[in-house]
Amino acid sequence: MASFYIVSTPIGNLKDITLRAIDTLKEVDIILCEDTRVTKKILDVYQIKKPLKSYHKFSKLSKLEYILNLLEEEKSLALVSDAGTPAISDPGSFLVSEIVKRFGDEIKVVPIPGPSAVVAALSVSGFYADKFKFLGFPPHKKGRQTFFKNISEEKDTVVFYESKHRIKKALRELSEVVENRQVVLCRELTKQFETIYRGTTKEILEKLKEDKVLGEFVVVLDKI
């Protein structure tokens, strides 16, 4: 029976990779990744030499068929994203779904857990996370207003991602609907310039005026 491994990789600090992830990447036949250049950096650090094939949100259906055919040939495959856990706000979820549809229990889908920006941000937030809602990235245009309106109606802790290009806009939009709720903004988690901002959206926007808005962001909104 072929196996398909969902392998979590570091979200910044390369030392955060697990021993099991390293072993798995050494053992599989082929590694599927978003950007082969990004994944190669990790593999070089741990002296792993395996064929890399790209799979991302722009991949054509022919790439999907290619991957399914590899599994039919009983090749063992690992899926990694550029950072964190694949299939979480990531095109890997579609791939896993198609594998299950095609093969059912004939292919073993194996999680190799590890770093996740969502969990890392929640762990330092100080907010109750017995229940939380993860929303991925806000829409760029259509549906963006509704996205933030829905957040205002959510009573549990909320987590979402945002890019450096839209983080200030997102905080302003958030301030219009949840003015006084506490927010934790995590920037560049586990990396050299990791920064954690705490306060209301307006307070955090003031702090961002003094800093360069670079890197990846995770926004955590406290429960009501």
Mark which of 46, 80, 112 sits at the end of a domain. 112
Does one domain contain both 16 and 81? yes
Q: Which domain holds residue 129?
A: 117-221
Does one domain contain both 8 and 102? yes
Q: State the greatest distance between any 2 C-alpha atoms of the chain, in Å, as a whole number.
A: 56
How high does pLDDT run on average in the chain?
94
- Tell me the angle at which helices 167-177 and 201-209 cross, rounded to the nearest 10 degrees: 150
Is residue 4 exposed (0-12), middle (13-18) or buried (19+ Cβ within 10 Å)? buried
pLDDT digits (tens, 9 = 90+) for 82-112: 999 999 888 889 999 999 999 999 999 999 9
pTM: 0.90
pLDDT digits (tens, 9 = 90+) for 191-222: 999 999 999 999 999 999 888 778 899 999 99
Number of neighbours of residue 197 by Cβ within 10 angstroms: 19
Name the domain count of the chain: 2
CATH of the domain at 81: 3.40.1010.10
Does one domain contain both 9 and 56? yes
Mark which of 112, 130, 162 sits at the end of a domain. 112
Mark which of 112, 132, 162 sits at the end of a domain. 112
